[in-house]
Amino acid sequence: MAIVAPSFLSANFLNLEADCKMVNESGADWFHLDVMDGRFVPNITFGPMIIEFIRKTTTKVCDVHLMIVEPEKYVEDFKKAGADILTVHQEACTHLHRNIEQIKSLGMQAGVALNPHTPVEALKEVLHDIDVVLIMSVNPGFGGQKFIPNTLKKISTLRRMIDEKGLATKIEIDGGVTLQNAPDIINAGAHVLVAGNTVFRSKDPKDTIAQLKKIT
């Protein structure tokens, strides 16, 4: 069964409490929270303060995705804000192993994200240290983009790498996830579906989440 992580990048920030309540009452597993700095990606979203408020509304997993440069400067802030999983970008980390160890030393699960152009083989030497690999299925920075088809090959390759090493690392897919392509994503070997517009623009978000959850 898929782990469903609605992306709050697509939530209504004028009525954020209601969207938090909806996700809490749904079958969703994680809150996916995208942090953008306007440097690593061409957009700015929110930081630890907003995550701290969201954390107070839920006991579900807060899955924080940092699309920022120099993430090591802010890891403690996001821990204090309530992150359960903290994901950094391979492309933003000069010393990736050090970043992973820093996150885990503070009691969070460590995630590493890969942009569409980055091969999954880039994680070969640290895969055993990672709890979650987030494969970007769009170019990061904006919601509402179309899924990049080549992502399915990357998922399959990564899943083989994980299985060959006997690891429990989860594969998370972020960008352009829909009810139509979600079965192919899960069949390719992914575990976690990040869904923004698909959930929050739905006429019945809870039912959409329930449909995503049924995918095996």
Could you tell me the strand order of the sheet in which 3-6 lies? 3-6, 192-195, 170-174, 132-136, 109-114, 85-89, 61-67, 30-36
Cα–Cα separations (whole angstroms), residue 144 to 55, 82, 100: 25, 27, 29
Q: Please check if 175 is assigned to a binding site.
A: yes
Q: Please check if 143 is assigned to a binding site.
A: yes
Spatial distance between the Cα atoms of 183 and 177, rounded to a whole number of angstroms: 10
CA 171 to chain centre: 9
Q: Please check if 144 is assigned to a binding site.
A: yes
Specify the pLDDT at position 216.
76
* 173 in Cβ contact with 137 (< 8 Å): yes
Q: Please check if 176 is assigned to a binding site.
A: yes
pTM of the model: 0.96
Q: What percent of the chain has pLDDT over 70?
A: 100
Q: Please check if 141 is assigned to a binding site.
A: yes
Specify the pLDDT at position 111.
98
- Tell me the pLDDT tens digit for each residue of 8-49: 999 999 999 999 999 999 999 999 999 999 999 999 999 999
Specify the pLDDT at position 25.
98
Specify the pLDDT at position 173.
98
Q: Please check if 32 is assigned to a binding site.
A: yes
Paired tokens of 101: 């160890």
- Residue ranges per structural domain of the chain: 3-213
How do strand 61-67 and strand 30-36 relate by DSSP bridges? parallel
Classify domain 3-213 at the CATH superfamily level. Answer: Aldolase class I (3.20.20.70)
Q: Please check if 31 is assigned to a binding site.
A: no
Q: Which residues belong to the active site? A: 34, 174
Specify the pLDDT at position 148.
97
Q: Which positions of the chain have pLDDT values less than 50?
A: none
Q: Please check if 10 is assigned to a binding site.
A: no
Look over the chain and give the mean of its residue pLDDT values, rounded to a whole number: 96
Specify the pLDDT at position 8.
96
**Residue-wise burial string across 60-71, b where 16 or more C-beta atoms lie within 10 A, e elsewhere:** bbbbbbbbbeeb
Paired tokens of 154: 């990357």
